[in-house]
Amino acid sequence: MKNLKLSAPPMLAAASVALFCASTALADDAPNNSLRLGSYSVFYHTSADDISGPYVPPGVNLQAENLTTLYAAYVRRLWSRFDVELALGYPPLAKIKGLGPTTVGSVPYNNVEVSSARWISPTLLLEYRFLSEDCAWQPFIGVGVNYTTFYDRTTTAAGNAAFGGPTRLSLTASVGPAATIGVGYHVSGPWHAYASYSIAQVKSDLTANTAGVVRTTNISFGPQTLIFSLGYSF
Amino acid sequence: MIKILKRSAILLAASLLAACGGSASSTTATVSVSTTPGTLSVNPPFRIASLDAATLQAALGATAAGVQLLQLTGNPVCGVDFYYLKFMTVGGAREMTQSSGALMVPTGAAPTCSGPLPIVEYAHGTWTNQASNIADITDPSNTEGALIAAMFAAQGYIVVAPNYAGYDISTLGYHPYLDAGQQSGEMMDILAAARTALPNTFTHTTVGNGKLFLAGYDEGGHVAMATLRALEAAGDPVTAAAPMSGPYALEAFGDAVFFGKVNLGSTVFAPLLANSYEHAYSNINNDPAGPIFSSAYPNAQAQLPSTTPIDTLFAENLLPLTALFNSTTPVVSIPTQPGLSAFLTAALAVPPIDPNNPLNPTNLWHAGFGNPYLINNNYRVGYAVDAAMHPDGAVPAPQPGVPLAMTKPAQGLRQNFYLNDLRNGPWAPTVPTLMCGGSLDPTVYFSVNTGTMAAFWKADPYVLPALDVDPHPPSAPAGLFAPIQVAFQTSQAQLFAFYQTPAGGGLSPAAAQQKIVEGYHVAVSPFCTLAARSFFSQF
């Protein structure tokens, strides 16, 4: 009994590995490249300084609306258990809403969509898989760098009304750290399914120019993303 | 495998390229590079604020002064959009410059708040603060902007009002103060710019309906009258005009001051005038009598307008508070004219104090003398001699028709007054014109200015009898504007009583009266403006 008790944990571990991991011979054949495609849900945790500049009442701020877009990534195996991922999303239309007073003057502001911008936000991640490649489940973590640039910046009619006229927006590009945690599952053959959760630091200086009147703020978008994707290895 | 890899790389690159290639940004206003006077520099103009009628009423009702204003103007019928106009004009030396001002556009569902509406062009009073902006309704110190918004725009008039060159964004470096040609030109320029802007505002169907009214107070009274003259000369139709408390008869007014009737605020007005006229005519700083300003205030000419508060300029002895002239009376000595010399010496004496009658204006005039003082005696004597040689028909004793000097004065400053006196030339209004003021005004004398112009245009059927909102016995409130006269006198009586209460400072009757005098010129403004609106509403 004593021996049995002592040997039970190694047996369970062995059974567990047997459930999720194939022979090492299979791992050696694992392809070096994969492409992933899926959905990319972005949950913003916006924090911004109040907008400053001429004719702006106190407390006028901005917030970004959550969104979902297409996720695409290329992953390259570097060494055993180490991958590098270049993640992209289809440039989504991020909607910016007013945050602050109900009205600016008599113009509705709080929670009113005032502007929008598309952004492209490639993230380069170095990922570490906890288990060998012959395992069906592949939990991983990663760290890297995110670059975000904004384009198609527009203000809505409501935004123009709040800002005092047709407004030109500019948002500086952002470079910041990114991190991810997730898990992959070997579905069949070259196909894998993935779920991951990522965070990145995206900070931008926003400048609004309305008929020569310039107002500014600094925005930290604080995006947290949930990704579900299907990967093809080759 | 390599093919797929290449394809994926291409897809990623295409995605990036799409992002970069599509980097169109949102639009903003068109900025004009034209320097042609009257050009709207930024189109559409920036809207500083949009207040609906209820919000405007609530904002005004939040202060005691606002409540009093609403009692006069009535509650807003319309909301008001406050636009900030930037436009091109010319300075006093004909130099090209940019200026700014306000376009206030009525808004709202009431039928009188949209579509074609009458335009009121308003000229503001003397400002010392270079940074002032009459369009900025968010600035609590912008009381004149609030007045015209509540009085006109909130009642269905489009309002156009310049800040004047030298203020706000203007880089002119001086203000062409009481320069009739420049200021009327600037009024015409902002009017042209406003007409350009109106179809491009948020309420683009609200435009002028062809009716144009002119109004202005204090300096703006002079500007409004000069603008009426300029618009008539240009053939631009004006419906009616209401110049208020303006220094229209500048030569007569200047003579009155130089002969000792020193007005309240003269130590502010003198530097503004000197700076303006030196730029326009180059005849202030090279006067044969020497410098205009004393060595105690060597930089007086360049002090105003300023971003430094006027009280700070006084406190730091950069300008005197009241001492315009030297308290030591100059002895005038003109060879071969001992009689005239004696007359002028007596005329330039310091007015005596009347301790028994605080209301005697000589007490105010007396305060205009001191040491240190602003204007040198030599300069004052030179002016006085010129006044004796080229007498004005209104001062010191009004002559029939109260005409300007028969010939152009020789002394620089007085020559400039002559040129900018609105009696100069054959012009008389050919549209209904109502002048308004207060008879006890210690800042811009009513009788010397409004009274003189009324007498000068006595035969002009378009010039209505001048309105004195503060008639005193033997006159009494009467006629169409009697309620306004009664309201003004009642408000003054209430204020006098208030100053003697603990909340008002617990002043003695004499001190309370002093406060009344100090605030009189400003106090008249909303009552005359109400009279102007009542007058305009008849057309």
A74 vs B: CB within 8 A: yes
Q: Contact B293/B267 with Cβ under 8 angstroms?
A: no
In whole angstroms, give the CA distance from residue A112 to residue A110. Answer: 5
Look at B149 and A24; give whichever has higher pLDDT: B149
Q: Per residue in B427-464, pLDDT tens?
A: 999 999 999 999 999 999 999 999 999 999 999 999 99
CB atoms A168 and B25 under 8 Å? yes
For B40-69, give one letter per residue: b (16+ CB within 10 A) or e: bbbbbbbbbbbbbbebbbebbeeeeebeeb
Q: With beta carbons under 8 A apart, name residues in chain B contacting A154.
A: 26
CB atoms A152 and B24 under 8 Å? yes
Q: Contact A29/A208 with Cβ under 8 angstroms?
A: no
pLDDT band at B233 (very low <50, low <70, confident <90, very high): very high
pLDDT band at A162 (very low <50, low <70, confident <90, very high): very high
Q: Is the pLDDT of residue A16 over 70?
A: no
What is residue A133's predicted lDDT score, i.e. its pLDDT? 80
B33 vs A: CB within 8 A: no
Domain layout of chain A by residue ranges: 2-233
CA distance B188 to chain A (A): 23
pLDDT > 70: percent of chain B:
95
A152 vs B: CB within 8 A: yes
CB atoms B4 and A155 under 8 Å? no
Distance from first CA to last CA of chain B, Å, rounded? 86
In whole angstroms, give the CA distance from residue B437 to residue B449. Answer: 10
- Record: fold of B30-238: Rossmann fold (3.40.50)
Region of A156 on the Ramachandran plot (φ > 0 left; ψ -120 to 50 alpha; else beta): beta
CA distance B177 to chain A (A): 28
A45 vs B: CB within 8 A: no
Q: Which part of chain B has CATH 3.40.50.1820? A: 30-238
Nearest chain B residue to A37 by CA distance is B8
What lies within 8 Å, CB to CB, of A159 at 6+ separation is A96, A98, A112, A113, A114, A115, A167
CB atoms B18 and A91 under 8 Å? yes
Q: With beta carbons under 8 A apart, name residues in chain B contacting A118.
A: 19, 22
Q: With beta carbons under 8 A apart, name residues in chain A contacting B27.
A: 166, 168
A169 vs B: CB within 8 A: yes
* Residue B399, both tokens: 């002559």
Q: Is the pLDDT of residue B395 over 90?
A: yes
User: What ipTM does the predicted assembly reach?
Assistant: 0.86
What is residue B18's predicted lDDT score, i.e. its pLDDT? 32
pTM of the model: 0.91
What 3-state class would DSSP assign to A181? Answer: strand
Query: Which uninterrupted H or E stretch holds A152?
Result: strand A137-155
pLDDT band at A31 (very low <50, low <70, confident <90, very high): confident
A151 vs B: CB within 8 A: yes
Q: With beta carbons under 8 A apart, name residues in chain B contacting A105.
A: 49-51, 55
Nearest chain A residue to B108 by CA distance is A106
CB atoms B29 and A234 under 8 Å? no
B27 vs A: CB within 8 A: yes
What mean pLDDT is reported for chain B?
94
In whole angstroms, give the CA distance from residue A194 to residue A232. Answer: 11
Closest CA to B248 of B427, B100, B387, B430: B427
What is residue A24's predicted lDDT score, i.e. its pLDDT? 45
At the top level of CATH, the class of A2-233 is mainly beta
A112 vs B: CB within 8 A: no
Q: Tokens 């503004």 sit at which residue?
A: B272
Q: How many CB contacts within 8 angstroms connect chain A with chain B?
A: 104
The angle at the Cα of B464, spanning B462 to B469, to the nearest 5 degrees, equals: 155
What is residue B419's predicted lDDT score, i.e. its pLDDT? 98
Query: Which uninterrupted H or E stretch holds A145?
Result: strand A137-155
What lies within 8 Å, CB to CB, of B53 at 6+ separation is B75, B76, B77, B78, B79, B108, B154
CA distance B192 to chain A (A): 19
The angle at the Cα of B249, spanning B399 to B490, to the nearest 5 degrees, equals: 100
Count, residues in chain B: 539
- Is the CA virtual torsion B161, B167, B171, B174 positive or negative? positive
pLDDT band at B42 (very low <50, low <70, confident <90, very high): very high
Give the mean model confidence (pLDDT) for residues B184-201: 98
